[in-house]
Amino acid sequence: MQELLAAGEAAMNEADYPLAVATFRKAAYIDPDQPVAHLHLGLALEAAGEAASARRAFGAARAGLDRSGTAAVEAVLEGYHVDELVRLLDAKLGASA
């Protein structure tokens, strides 16, 4: 899955949002409980102007975060903490922090 996340990030850096969305969708499909895959999918959808789909992806990320262990999530966050991810997702979903 790390390869898919890296490929999606590369597509985002090139502003190839359709490719980024497709790649992050694959990552989310492979590991539906991995909130980081859904977060990246949401960000790609948001960049592509698909707000409703992005909100669903952010919701899936938040739900996955609730199901996943902190250690498993932080291993993928590259130095960020789970509480930072929670704040970001809550902000994207319009929840009060």
User: What is the predicted pLDDT for the residue at 97?
Assistant: 40
**Residue pair 1/30 in contact by the 8 Å Cβ criterion:** yes
Q: What's the domain count of the chain? A: 1
Which domain, by its residues, includes 53?
Answer: 2-92
Of the candidates 56, 48, 51, the one whose C-alpha atom is nearest the C-alpha of residue 28 is 56
User: What is the predicted pLDDT for the residue at 96?
Assistant: 40
Query: Is 16 a member of any domain?
Result: yes
User: What is the predicted pLDDT for the residue at 11?
Assistant: 97
State both tokens at 17: 């949002």
User: What is the predicted pLDDT for the residue at 23?
Assistant: 97
Query: Is 97 a member of any domain?
Result: no
CB count in 10 Å sphere of residue 59: 15
**Residue pair 1/31 in contact by the 8 Å Cβ criterion:** yes
Is 16 a residue whose pLDDT tops 80? yes
Tens of pLDDT, residues 34-93: 899 999 999 999 999 999 999 999 999 999 888 876 776 777 777 788 888 889 999 999
List the CATH number of the domain containing 46: 1.25.40.10
**Residue pair 28/5 in contact by the 8 Å Cβ criterion:** no
